[in-house]
């Protein structure tokens, strides 16, 4: 990790409560805003454009949950630099000089869209790099940023699982208020992703929808976001491991154009606390080995 001392130190943070109130982990993998100088120099677009891919302030919205007995994780490097919500080697060979490892996944839909582990584009489709990257640089980022994050996340999940017999990982994201396609319907305030019923017991998305609706939010499920690699990879209801993704409409809590916190920011943070409190009341004995729905 010493290669990133200063600019990306620490690359991610885990804040554990003094006493765990429940086996519920809140994760913010896309709110990082520490841009390495060499990355900015290699980019053909400015920081403002790069930041359009950020889930800005999502880490701040959940920061207070550690004081309420819930561990939180935040990633400090930007997703446009390394995206931890991808397989470790979802890489586009068109981006690099040199040969990718034979085990790299070069054909996923995310790679095709330019949004692999080392993204080619930002969220609105703008190309990031002026020139091709050396493949060794991509592999270095994966080794010293991506892999340590996932090792730490697995340790935290295992700790909760061993202590409680079940664990809930809440993967927290935000989405642009308007989709790229004009044909896409108006996005709700919150989109719950459970990989179409496969990443968690159904009582979890049901509870999230009921709670957020009662707080005045419009809620959708799995469209346009069903959950990424983290939701899919760590969700194993048959083993008592449950993941649910929450996508919050950015217009709800921030000014998207100015990238500033909006007037409802404090209230939204309080609503996340209310959601955490509601999740903590789940009878965790009911979340042991559980057969998820078929896809």
* pLDDT value, residue 186: 84
Question: Sheet containing 72-75: which strands, arranged edge to edge?
Answer: 12-15, 72-75, 24-28, 167-175, 241-249, 190-193, 219-221
From CA 11, how far away is CA 75, in angstroms rounded? 6
Residue 136 has, within 13 A of its CA and on its CB side, a CA count of 0
As a whole number of angstroms, the distance between CA 144 and CA 140 comes to: 6
In this prediction, residue 14 carries a pLDDT of 98
Per-residue pLDDT, 7: 82
Whether the full predicted model's pTM is greater than 0.75, yes or no, is: yes
Long-range contacts of 282-287 (CB under 8 A, 24+ apart): 282/22, 282/168, 282/203, 282/204, 282/207, 284/22, 284/23, 284/164, 284/165, 284/166, 285/165, 285/166, 286/201, 286/203, 287/166, 287/168, 287/201, 287/240, 287/242
Q: What's the confidence (pLDDT) of residue 185?
A: 78
Other Cβ atoms within 10 Å of 106 Cβ, number: 14
Per-position pLDDT tens, the chain of length 295: 345 556 888 999 999 999 999 999 999 999 999 999 999 999 999 999 999 999 999 999 999 999 999 999 999 999 999 999 999 999 999 999 999 999 999 999 999 999 999 999 998 889 999 999 999 999 999 999 999 999 999 999 999 999 999 999 999 999 999 877 777 778 999 999 999 999 999 999 999 999 999 999 999 999 999 999 999 999 999 999 999 999 999 999 999 999 999 999 999 999 999 999 999 999 887 776 655 444 3
Can you list the positions of beta strands (E) in the chain?
12-15, 24-28, 72-75, 96-97, 133-134, 167-175, 190-193, 219-221, 241-249, 254-255, 260-261
Q: What is the pLDDT of residue 53?
A: 94
Residues 210, 204: Cα–Cα separation, whole Å = 10
Give the Å distances, CA to CA, from 48 to 44, 51, 75, 122, 211. 12, 5, 19, 11, 34
**Alpha-carbon gap, residue 293 to 295, rounded angstroms:** 6
């Amino acid at each position: 990790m010493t290669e990133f001392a200063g600019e990306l130190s620490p690359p991610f943070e885990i804040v554990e409560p003094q006493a765990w109130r429940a086996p519920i982990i809140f994760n913010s993998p896309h709110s990082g805003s520490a841009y390495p100088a060499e990355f900015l120099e290699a980019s053909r677009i400015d920081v403002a454009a790069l930041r359009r891919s950020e889930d800005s302030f999502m880490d701040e919205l959940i920061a207070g949950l550690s004081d309420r007995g819930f561990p939180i994780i935040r990633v400090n490097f930007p997703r446009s630099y390394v995206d931890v919500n991808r397989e470790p080697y979802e890489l586009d060979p068109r981006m690099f000089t040199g040969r990718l490892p034979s085990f790299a996944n070069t054909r996923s839909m995310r790679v095709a869209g330019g949004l692999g582990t080392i993204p080619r584009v930002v969220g609105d489709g703008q190309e990031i790099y002026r020139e091709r990257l050396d493949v060794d640089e991509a592999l270095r980022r994966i080794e010293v940023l991506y892999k340590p994050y996932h090792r730490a996340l697995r340790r935290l999940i295992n700790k909760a699982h061993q202590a409680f017999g079940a664990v809930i990982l809440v993967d927290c994201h935000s989405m642009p208020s308007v989709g790229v396609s004009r044909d896409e319907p108006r996005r709700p305030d919150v989109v719950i992703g459970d990989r179409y019923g496969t990443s968690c017991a159904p009582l979890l998305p049901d509870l999230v929808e009921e709670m957020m609706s009662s707080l005045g939010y419009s809620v959708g499920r799995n469209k346009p976001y069903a959950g990424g690699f983290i939701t899919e990879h760590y969700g194993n209801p048959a083993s008592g491991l449950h993941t649910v993704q929450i996508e919050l409409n950015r217009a709800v809590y921030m000014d998207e154009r100015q990238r500033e916190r909006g007037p409802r920011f404090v209230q939204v943070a309080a609503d996340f606390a209310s959601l955490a409190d509601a999740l903590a009341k789940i009878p965790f004995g009911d979340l042991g080995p559980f057969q998820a729905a078929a896809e």
